[in-house]
Amino acid sequence: MKNTLVAAAFAAVLTVPAFADPVFGTWKTIPDDNGRFGHIEIKQCGDTICGEMVASFEANGNKYKSDNLGKNIVWNMMLKKDGKYGGGKIWSPDRDKTYSSTWSWLTAATGSRLRAVLQSSVVTAEHGRG
């Protein structure tokens, strides 16, 4: 699936237990240029955090079988002392490029948001929880 993950921002579509890292769960990617998007399951992978594409959708919301299902989109992400995440990589299937990334939480009246920045603060996007 050609999903725009350049900004690598995800919107939670499932809740996670209170004892788990709040980033764990299934997140929605931002749409690609054709409006397609995916769900990425963010989870613990050894000592780091990774994310695998578990579902893919057309712009109209209908599911379809992407070639990227089951592939890791995020890997080697780690929680840092300041509550931010870093050290990881995010793969953008539509561009077939891998980016260094940092994540941080934003809190707004509409709920928590995960902000992802690739390489630098030049490319960013945000999506709120479910």
Q: Which domains does the chain have, with CATH numbers?
A: 10-128 (2.40.128.520)
Q: Tell me, what amino acid is at 78? A: M
- Separation CA 27–CA 130 (nearest Å): 8
CA angle, 72 then 84 then 6, to 5°: 45
| Interval 72-94: pLDDT, tens | 999 999 988 877 888 899 888 88
Extract the residue ranges of the chain whose pLDDT is less than 50. 1-19, 120-130
pTM: 0.71
Distance CA 44, CA 8 (A): 18
CA distance 107 to 123: 20
